[in-house]
Amino acid sequence: MSLANKEDGKKWIQTSVAITCMIVGYVLISFFETLSEWFELESKVTNFVAISQAVSVLIAFAVFVYIMKTPKTANFLSEVYQEAVKVVWPDKNETVRHTIVIMIGVTIIGFLLGFFDLGASWLLSLIA
């Protein structure tokens, strides 16, 4: 069962693009702070922090507008959403069962690799 339905598509797409653009803005602010430390820009440029934050927000907003206004990108995101709505998630029992099987399989493989490692170490100790 999917948490979203097909009618909510535009809202979900806009929200996810907005969140992504917020992350882009945060990364840009961090990038400008790092540049400021490397090149001591705060002492050379007045109001560097405010300027860098404003530029970061403007770039993030421009990316949001570009993504939402480009028909090719908007169509692609709409198709992605339509496919994501079709996903059927497993129920709790199936998830627990698969988790247990994976844990057992990883443990068995871990023991096998451990035994191979011990055997290789033993063989190398005979040679050395």
Q: What digits encode the pLDDT tens for the residues 80-115? A: 999 988 899 899 999 999 999 999 999 999 999 999
The pLDDT value recorded for residue 60 is 97
Q: Which domain holds residue 78?
A: 1-89
* Confidence band of 9 (pLDDT split at 50, 70, 90): confident
The pLDDT value recorded for residue 39 is 92
Q: Measured between alpha carbons, how far is 34 from 57 in angstroms, rounded to an integer?
A: 17
* Confidence band of 5 (pLDDT split at 50, 70, 90): low
Domain count, the chain: 2
Same domain, 102 and 84: no
pTM of the complete model:
0.66
Same domain, 53 and 17: yes
Residue 40: phi and psi, rounded to 5, are 50, 50
